[in-house]
Amino acid sequence: MADNAQLRALDATLARDPATLSGAPPAPAATLVIFGGSGDLTKRLLMPALYNLSAAKLLDPGFAVLGVDRVEGDDASWRHSQTETITSFLAARGHASNLDNDAWVWVCDRLAYLQGDLEDPATYAAIGKKLEQGSAVFYLAVSDRFFAPIIDHLAEAGLLSEPEGHCRRVVIEKPFGHDLISAQALNQRILKVMDENQVFRIDHFLGKETVQNIMALRFSNGIFEPLWKRDHIDHVQITALETVGVEKRGHFYEHTGALRDMVPNHMFQLLAMTAMEAPNSFDADAVRSEKAKVIEAIRPLSAAQAMADVVRGQYAAGTLNGTTLPGYRQEPDVAPDSTAETYVALKLGIDNWRWAGVPFYIRTGKRTHTRKTEIAIHFKQAPYALFRDTPVERLTPNILTLHIQPREGASLQFSAKVPGPKVHLGPVTMDFSYADYFGASNSTGYETLLYDVFIGDNTLFQRADNIEAGWAAVQPILDAWAETEGEVHPYYAGTAGPTQADRLLARDGRSWMKLT
């Protein structure tokens, strides 16, 4: 049976109405080769995404999946393992009958497994025999230390050369490097043996409808784009918080921490989509070039600013919904005196004409009391003068919030007059939900991304210069911490994070959005 962590991770990933994923032709036939086929990412994200794509009729009859791992197994055992995870998830919630059996059987019949050492050339020779001259997508669902060796072996085996009329692509999960130097070295090593358009550096945040809708919201609505600049926006808050802890990833987190894990990739991608200029088309390179310009324009922090404008936190033992939770230092594979941060908040500026003087506040962390990812655009206040001689004491802040998870949508907060003979103002909110308005089904966020890989659309994937610009922006922080580590502030599990993060905004006369 699937363990509890896997079942929780599968929550809200199986589409209730797969038709909402459709509206496009099936992707061309290809074999998806998953390195790390028996791993957690395959079970909780890739397989549910393939199931959803199958139910939406977005996969070609010639589609196939080859799982590669050193774990002992064969086709039958791998199919059984993947089926068990999905059915266990549904049964645990009383929804066993909701599984579209035809859609899952369609995927399951196309699953094959290859047991092999990822560093043994014989493994790649065996893969080559199975692929012959067809199209293939190599998905690196493995530890980052295997990224470069796997790509080297694929190149040596001739598996990256694209046969006539067919494609060969590689999907790389994060972390893509651990600092600027390692990211540059990895890019150089990859691009020696393959072209940039064959590389898909994946960030599942960009598979969320709301993230993709940022461009549509900004650039297709005349009421928003004229206001989307320093003249009208006071500041921007970008939040990505989780109720879960590090769970079984203690060893990874000890060497990574929240800054490396989330900021150069997830958080900066959200920032780039929010702050980018309008591209001249939806062509992949046009969009990615504008995103790269934003990240390159992030103002580098001095050593003093890195210590003053960045807050590090680490969760201590606490409670959430009546459950006692261990502190980070009590988690498996974590040092009892660890200083790895599980929370980070920072203040950044963007040095370009549109955003000069507008602060961007970013926070991300684990074991908070609410799971929430959102972007909040705080508009400048209207003048108070008109209301000086009325009972109105303050004006309601105007905030456009883009909700990314757990629910996807947008809301706009503004003032309205409270009914009655006197002028009283009250806050009101207009709310839009994808599920309510479009009947959008649940998904992993990987459906769109996998489909785009299969059709060769790079728009939602990071280019080498984007990756390196992200690391360049956080490198001064890493350097400052290496020189003077600074304090890692504790916060109780099940709370909003360290109080020092509140002070980061309070000193500017601002406050974080409430976590509800």
User: Which residues are tagged catalytic?
Assistant: 266
- CA-atom Rg of the chain in angstroms: 24
Tell me the CA end-to-end span of the chain in Å, nearest whole number: 34
The SS3 assignment for 440 reads: coil
Tokens of 173: 């999960």
β-sheet bridge partners, residue 9: none
Q: How many CB atoms lie within 10 A of CB 76?
A: 10
Confirm if 82 and 47 have CB atoms less than 8 A apart. Answer: yes
Distance CA 38, CA 49 (A): 16
Tokens of 276: 């980018």
Helix 147-156 × helix 121-131 angle, to 10°: 60
Q: What is the largest CA-CA distance in the chain?
A: 83
Distance CA 201, CA 181 (A): 17
Angle at CA 316, nearest 5°, toward 315 and 317? Answer: 125
Q: What Å distances lie between residue 355 and 24, 175, 215, CA to CA?
A: 37, 28, 17
Q: Which of 463, 469, 474, 462 is nearest to 296 (CA)?
A: 469
Which residue pairs, CB below 8 angstroms and at least 24 apart, start in 61-64? 61/29, 62/29, 62/30, 63/27, 63/29, 63/30, 63/31, 63/32, 63/110, 64/30, 64/31, 64/32, 64/110, 64/112
The SS3 assignment for 138 reads: strand
Residues 6+ apart with CB under 8 A from 43: 2, 6, 81, 82, 85
Helix, strand, coil fractions of the chain, as percent rounded to 5: 40, 20, 40
Pairing mode of beta strands 310-316, 489-492: parallel
Q: What is the 3-state secondary structure (H, E, C) of 394-427?
A: CCCCCEEEEEEECCCEEEEEEEEECCCCCCCEEE
Helix 284-296 × helix 464-483 angle, to 10°: 20
